[in-house]
Structure formats: structure tokens, C-alpha cells
Structure 1
């Protein structure tokens, strides 16, 4: 089993954490300064100082790590922060660390390939069908602009699509060793813990980062956590997916202290999830937990959880009877709200139902080809048959893909999703140690994703969606390289002879 202390003591991880902390701390400390220029200067100074010290401190380690790979690590970290820190408006374009590092990564990778300093070995890509599908998706999206009603929305959607899909390609080509995915796994958990802390900070202090919608929300909504996201639904979806990576760490960790710390944060994340009132994500976690308990948990874990659950349930019912009854009532309300009842024009469930009805109507009118990338919002606002109370986002990732990109891309995406889960389950059955822990977390995250993706207004601009699929596809590619390495090496040796 991987020694967690070895990771923490790694200078590479220390500088990553330092940069991350400086980004968050710089935003908090400068958010009360009167002038935007002062905030920008102070924030950039903090980043520059930390990076300068870090580069000097890690000069030997960075020398052994290619610059594109190093930038990819920074890109992954910045993907969790999104536009919440150092969001600079340049005309109609918003620039923040993720986008700036992404442009740097593209530029550096192109130079390294042109100078032959890195070689993209396609023989070490064992997930070619998955990559080909994503290429087809982009090409089809570009082609569908020819029949799109809104070229502006279509072009914007293709940009988000291209950025997300390119992340999958970067991870598949640059991450092909266990250490890469081990680092990625712990980076995800570390950022998850940070965002949980920020969510608690939101709830306790009623203070928010500038990107949050709560900055202008009514007072009765203050206290709802959003962390680094615009709204609580996006945060809840991130929690639902990330919960299972932390759960797998708690399940597989050897050190008892880490298990207890992880368990505490698991309960805190569930508490924050309840505060968001996101029904779809609450059910997504329950679905993932059910799958994990039945198919992934060890027999010892199952027995322990049943004993703790039964004893804890009896104890809580005896001591906090009213609280338990309130929770049962809350769960009942969630289930009842999802049941089909009399139509109410402004009810959340009925609005979402009408959004889906309109979307399917648009899909039917497109003869199955889709109405064009990003055009669901345009159609919803101009041609919607069923009332949606002014809401134009589909609020359902599956339907959004079907409506915008048509049946071919939708079926391909469903097959890709099912293939990823099946391959991860096979890996989980064969793997040991760190590989087993990573595959377990990804399985739970992918299962929860099936419902968590119907909560946000749109998934295409949420970085963790693309990182989750990139993580899973890249990990499957690494596993195949690892277990086909001997055969691959023999084949190359024979060719050389």
C-alpha cells in the first residue's frame, strides 16, 4: 500500500499545496481591498513569490519532470478552483488560472512536439476507441454548426467541449505510470477537503467568494454553501462524485488516523450536501453507496457498517428523537417531490419535467441529428412549448447531449460510460494496493455521476466532469499498458531483431 506520509513529504506535492493555498488565501485577504488593481497586484505578487520559491526549491525534481507534465499537474489543481480565484475580465473574455495554464500547456506542448523533445507514442495508447469517439464528437459538433440557429452559442459550446476533451488526451498521453494517477488521486482528495472547508466557512460566516450567486441572493438563502462554484447545485454534484474517492481512501487506507480523518470529512461532506438541498445529488450518493456496499466493500467493512449503523441508529433515535424524525421527514419530502403529481407551473420538478419535454420535442424536430452545440438554450427561450418559468438551461446532461448533438453522439456517450464502469470493475477485481483504491473510487464516482449530472444547469463548463472521465480513461489506459507491457516489450524486441 502506498505510504501517505511519503506523498506529503514529497517536495513536489508540497509546492502544489503551497500554490493552491496561496491562491485561496490571496483571494480571501485581498477581497476587502477597495481597488480592483490593488487586489490583482497583491494576488499576483503572492503567486509569483510562492512559485519563485517553489521552483528554486524543486529545481532538481522539476528537471526530471517534463514541463508539459508539470503544467498538466498545475492545470488539474486549477481545474478545481475554476473562476473563483483571480478572475480577470479582458473584454468579453474571463481569464483565470485554469484558462491561463491551459493556454500555456497548449503552447508548450506544441513547441516540445515541434522540437521533438517529446514523442507521442500511439502504441502506448490502449484506449483508442474512447479517444476516437471524442474526436468524432468534436468533428460532429463543428459540422452541426451548419444547421444551428445560434452560431454564437454553438461556437462557445465547441470551445468548452474542445477544452474538456483535450484534457482527456493530455492525461492519456502524459500520464502512463502509477505515480501519475496516485498523485492525481490524492490531489483530488486534497482539493475536495479544501472545498468542504470552504463550504463550511460559507455556512458559518455567510461569506462567499465573488463568483458565488449568494453574493446577491436574498438574505434567507445566506448560509447555503457554494464553495468555489457559482451555485449550490454545482457544488453538490462535485460532492456527490468526490465523496466516493474519499470513501475508497478510508476503506483502503492502512493508517487508522487517516481513516478517522477521512471519515470525519465524509460526514461533513454529507452535512454540506444536505445544506445544498440538492435532491438529485442526495439520491446519487445513496445510489453510489448502495452499489459500493453490495459490490465493492469488503466483508469486514459490510459487517462493521451494519453493526455501527444499527447501534448508531438506535442510540440516535433514543437521544435525538426529534432530529431523527426531522431527517426522516426531510427524506420523505425528497421522495415525494420526485413523485408525479398535479402540475404546478413554478414547481422545481415540474419545470425540470417541462425542460425535458421541450428538449425531446426539439430533438424530434431535428430528425435525430440534434439542433446544434449549445443551441438547447436558444430553442428553449424561443420555441419552448411547455412553460419553464423563464429557465432555458436543460438541467440534465444526458438530455443536453441528446438534444444538442443528436442520437449518434448520445448513444456513443452511453456506450463509453458503460464501458468505463465495466473496465473499472474488472480492474478492481484484479488490482491490489493503490490501483485497487483508485479503481474503487472511480467506480463509485462514475455511478454517482449518472444522477449528479442532472442537477447543474449545464455540465459542459464544469471542469470536474471532464477530469473525472479523463482520470478514468487514463487510468484504464495505464492499467492496460502495465499488464500488456511484457507482450508489448517482446513484440518490440522481435521487431528490433
Structure 2
């Protein structure tokens, strides 16, 4: 069963062009087929009451699953107020497949060996996209990308203008994927004794730096800077200061969101200040306008959100500020505006808990693998905030759901190891008391 889980992780990087079946209304990719098979097999095993598979949901051990399941349920019920039924179906489909992936991965990947293998698979599959990216730049041969005539002509005439796409339709989507290889390469580098694999990890990091420069994705270039800065802060800042910064940030965000909805005059003041500040032309203005429209849509929907997959419809039909594209270009705003305040608050609390658990594991774990992996994943989770503003709509990007599924499985492993360490300590204390 674990091998099927490994195949599921690997298959998501094939996209909807490689080994996919055209079903008319949608592409049935290898990942989607394997996910359906996994759900059927897990259900069959559960019905047979196999003790190796547990689907018991208690709050302490499955808080991650609860957050995503609540997100999915709210998305399903948003059909009641969603404007666009087709967009709603698309949104629910991706949140549903993502939720099932997270649940399945947390069930299957429970040991340190499982997570090491999962990280290696992610590293290899993204590495293949790196190689294909270099192939496209060097040869100007794009196997899967559907480039327009002018773009192809420009690439042919000017080799310096060529950028990689591989299986993606957007250069920013490719750049976001490539950035994710940085923490994976670091984890492999610091957790292997094989010199060739260490060399491959270093080569992957160098390749990523070049490809991020070549793609020109500002969001992911900013994420890289934030990643390195976070590593530096983790190494130099004392725990009490870092904890204070995180708590202060959480309190500030909470107060801001509550005040934004409770005080209408504050909303208009924010609009005025932002508009005066960015009153110019360019993509940055449109990005800000997308966010402002998102907040306006959320207020108009009374905090419930506009419905799964319906942000694009609202951006086209009811924009208050001028935009150049219907996609909101922000993972967190996607969740807030489409699925509402309840989903956003639960997700944000989970996100902060993941950061807290990774930090504690990095600082206090005696396990070298958990300690080093927590170090780099903490920096990635922080920098993902910047990376997620690059792609048009992260909700519809399946590999990101798989990436987060593996991260969550790792966090659950750290909880398990932490619990085992605590139990051992208590037994030692009890034994010492008896003596």
C-alpha cells in the first residue's frame, strides 16, 4: 500500500499531459487515477478492519485532517450562494482531491523511513522538471507547452529570451515548483552519507538559482531571499524573541481582520491610502487591486466567501478596482475570499501550529533527521507566503497539495517522536521515584 502512496506522490508531477486520458469534460491524469485507486483500496481495507490502517479521527491526532475536511464541507455547501456552478465544481474538485491526498498521506507515511523516501521522490521529480527546463532553454524544443506564434518566434530569434515551461501553462507556476526544490535539496544534502547524492543536491540548488533568475518570477525570488533570511534568524535569534515575534504577528493579523469588518470607515481609509500610494500603471497596481477586490467581495458576502471556485467570476462581473486578470494570485486570499472567514481562521491557526511544531522539533529534537528537516521546512513554510503570490491560483495546482501532504505527514511524525520521548522520560522519572 505504501508503494501505491509513493506512486501517487511521484505521479502528480506528470501533470495532465503525460500518461493522461482525455475524458471529454476533464483530463484524467495518472495522479487522479492513482488517487481514486488509493481511496478505493483504503476503504476496502477499512471495511475489512485491517489494524494496519486506522481512520479513527480524534482531535488530538487528526487536527490537520479536521481543518481540511471542514474546508471541503464549507466549499460543498457554498453551492447555495455561489454564482457560477461550473467554477464551484472545479473548486470543490481540487479541494476534495487535495484533502483526500492529505488524509491518505498522513495514513500511509507514518515512519521516518516513509518520510525520507517521500522527500527523495519529491526531490527526484522536481529535478526532472529542472532537467527538462534546461533542455527547453538550450534546444528551444517545447514538448508540452502550448506557446503562441509570437512567443515561439521570439524564442527562436533570441535564445536569451527562452524560459522553461515543461508541463505548465504559466512561467510562474514552473518557478513556484522549482523554488520548492530548495528545502528538499537541503534536506537530502544534510541527511545522506552518499557523496554522489550530496553532489546532486548541491547541483540542484545551483540549478534552481539559475532557473529562478531565468524565469524572472519576483514572487519566488523574494521567497528565496526570505528562505535564506529565515534560516539566518533561526540560527541566531533566541527562542523567546522569535516566539514573541510570531505571537505579535498573529495578534496583529487577528485584530486587523476583525477591525476591517467591524469598522467601515477603516476599510475606506485603507482603500484611499493604498490607491494614493500606487496610483500608477503596471502589474503591481493590478496585483494590489486584486487584493482590494477580494476584501470587498468578502465584505459583500458577509464573511462567508464568494463560494468555491467563484473568485474569477466575481472579478469579471463585479470588480470595484480595475484588474488585468481574474485570478487573485495569493494562496491565503484565495482561501479567505472563496471559502470565508471560518475556513481562513482555521487554516491560519493550523499554519501557525505547523510553524510552532517545526520550530520546537528543530530546537529540541535529538533525532538528526527530524532536527535538520524541521529547520529547512520551517524556512520553506515561512517563505511560501511570498512564493504563493506568484502563481495565478494555487488552489488548482495539484503538486502543491501533495507537497503540503508530505509536510503535514512529517509534522505528525515529529508529534509522534515528541510523544514517545515524553513517555520515555515519564517512565524514567517513575522508575527513579521507585528506586
TM-score by length of 2: 0.81
Label 1:262 to 1:205 Cα distance change in 2 as closer, same or farther (>3 A).
same
Kindly indicate whether residue 184 of structure 2 is the aligned counterpart of residue 245 of structure 1: yes
Kindly indicate whether residue 16 of structure 2 is the aligned counterpart of residue 83 of structure 1: yes
Label 1:490 to 1:274 Cα distance change in 2 as closer, same or farther (>3 A).
closer
How big is the shift at 1:286? 0.4
Kindly indicate whether residue 229 of structure 2 is the aligned counterpart of residue 229 of structure 1: no
Query: Number of residue pairs matched?
Result: 380
Label 1:215 to 1:270 Cα distance change in 2 as closer, same or farther (>3 A).
farther
CA contact (8 A) 2:46 2:55 kept: no
Aligned partners of 1:98 and 1:422: how far apart in 2?
Answer: 31
> Aligned match of 1:201 in 135, 138, 143?
135
> Aligned match of 2:339 in 381, 390, 405?
405
Label 1:297 to 1:143 Cα distance change in 2 as closer, same or farther (>3 A).
same
CA contact (8 A) 2:12 2:399 kept: yes
Query: 1:421-470 deviations in whole A, cap 9, x for unaligned?
Result: 11011111233322223223322221221111111110112123212321
How big is the shift at 1:475? 1.3
The aligned residue for residue 327 of structure 1 is none
The aligned residue for residue 278 of structure 1 is 217
Aligned partners of 1:217 and 1:414: how far apart in 2?
Answer: 42
Aligned partners of 2:99 and 2:396: how far apart in 1?
Answer: 11
CA contact (8 A) 2:88 2:310 kept: yes
Aligned partners of 2:72 and 2:332: how far apart in 1?
Answer: 17
Larger deviation: 469-478 or 399-408?
469-478
How big is the shift at 1:284? 0.5
Kindly indicate whether residue 302 of structure 2 is the aligned counterpart of residue 367 of structure 1: yes
The aligned residue for residue 135 of structure 1 is 69
Aligned partners of 1:425 and 1:268: how far apart in 2?
Answer: 28
CA contact (8 A) 2:53 2:107 kept: no
**Structure 2 segments unaligned to the other structure (5+ residues):** 156-160, 238-275, 427-435
The aligned residue for residue 27 of structure 2 is 94
Aligned partners of 2:197 and 2:47: how far apart in 1?
Answer: 45
1:286-305 maps to which residues of 2 (within 5 A)? 286-296=225-235
Label 1:362 to 1:80 Cα distance change in 2 as closer, same or farther (>3 A).
same
Aligned partners of 1:297 and 1:194: how far apart in 2?
Answer: 35
Kindly indicate whether residue 51 of structure 2 is the aligned counterpart of residue 112 of structure 1: no
How big is the shift at 1:227? 2.4
The aligned residue for residue 484 of structure 1 is 419
Aligned partners of 1:478 and 1:151: how far apart in 2?
Answer: 39
CA contact (8 A) 2:231 2:376 kept: no
Kindly indicate whether residue 109 of structure 2 is the aligned counterpart of residue 175 of structure 1: yes
The aligned residue for residue 323 of structure 2 is 388
How big is the shift at 1:209? 3.0
The aligned residue for residue 374 of structure 2 is 439
CA-based RMSD: 2.6
How big is the shift at 1:256? 4.9
Label 1:407 to 1:217 Cα distance change in 2 as closer, same or farther (>3 A).
farther
Kindly indicate whether residue 294 of structure 2 is the aligned counterpart of residue 355 of structure 1: no
Label 1:246 to 1:340 Cα distance change in 2 as closer, same or farther (>3 A).
farther
Kindly indicate whether residue 277 of structure 2 is the aligned counterpart of residue 343 of structure 1: no
How big is the shift at 1:151? 1.6
Kindly indicate whether residue 125 of structure 2 is the aligned counterpart of residue 191 of structure 1: yes
How big is the shift at 1:201? 0.9
Aligned partners of 1:393 and 1:266: how far apart in 2?
Answer: 30
Query: 1:141-196 deviations in whole A, cap 9, x for unaligned?
Result: 11221011112211210111010011111111121111100100111111122111
> Aligned match of 1:451 in 383, 386, 398?
386
How big is the shift at 1:228? 2.6
Aligned partners of 2:396 and 2:149: how far apart in 1?
Answer: 22
Label 1:271 to 1:112 Cα distance change in 2 as closer, same or farther (>3 A).
same
Aligned partners of 1:419 and 1:294: how far apart in 2?
Answer: 19
**Structure 1 segments unaligned to the other structure (5+ residues):** 1-66, 299-338, 492-497
How big is the shift at 1:296? 4.5
